[in-house]
Amino acid sequence: MADSATTTRERRRQQTTHRITVCAQRLTEQRGLDGFTMDDLAEAAEVSRRTLFNYFPSKLDAVLGAAPDIDPALLATFMAGGPHGRLFEDLGALARSLLDVKELDRESLELGRRVLVTTPRLLAAAHERFELLTAEFAEIILEREGRAFGLPRARLAVRLMVATFDTALSSFLDDARDRPIAEVFDDTLRDALDLLS
């Protein structure tokens, strides 16, 4: 029963996080990043100001959305050398797990991309976040593979996976067949593995 309550609570938290981010992106698209306040955002997202700050410390963070959250069990499997025993494929399994979030839909992904590419400050903040995540995941790879693997190779592996993920997102947005994003990612990962073999 406790697991069910935790799952329900976590699902509600994810939905609220997503709602706040979509509202922040809509407000940014309509008014510009400096054209609304955190109070405006709280009202649009139908949360209290206090709740809003529990989710995001700033407008910039709200517009960018929550950092990726990987299931600890999947991360433990990765650290143990799995699930496939091949680094890039195993990174793909971690990346794919991020697509199992219900809130990933075409409309919100298109909105996020539009807002990002038209707002230089957001683009710079996204790049800074990307660099921090790259460093974090490079360290995780080095823990798994050993320091002799080398930091430059670990960073390259992360950047290749991000390029694969980004290509899958672009393909998903351009695909008129309306396939699930996880299916598009699987195809893109297969193509990347073919190119790298």
37 and 134 fall within a common domain: no
122 and 187 fall within a common domain: yes
Least confident range from 10-14, 38-42, 54-58: namely 10-14
Alpha-helical runs (H) found in 56-119: 59-64, 72-79, 87-97, 106-118
By CB neighbour count within 10 A (0-12 exposed, 13-18 middle, 19+ buried), where does 170 fall?
middle
The pTM (predicted TM-score) of the whole model is 0.85
- Determine the pLDDT at residue 1: 47
- Determine the pLDDT at residue 6: 61
Tell me the CATH number at 75.
1.10.357.10
Least confident range from 103-107, 148-152, 188-192: namely 103-107
Overall domain count for the chain = 2
- Determine the pLDDT at residue 102: 58
60 and 89 fall within a common domain: no
For residue 149, the enclosing domain spans 67-197
Tell me the CATH number at 39.
1.10.10.60
29 and 71 fall within a common domain: no
Q: Running DSSP on this structure, what letter comes out for residue 66? A: P
Contact status, residue 188 vs residue 167, Cβ threshold 8 Å:
yes
Q: Using CA atoms, how far apart are residues 173 and 188, in angstroms rounded to an integer?
A: 13
Of 40, 64, 88, which residue sits at a domain end?
Answer: 64
Contact status, residue 129 vs residue 64, Cβ threshold 8 Å:
yes
pLDDT tens digits, 72-96: 999 999 999 999 999 999 999 999 9
Amino acid sitting at position 144 = R
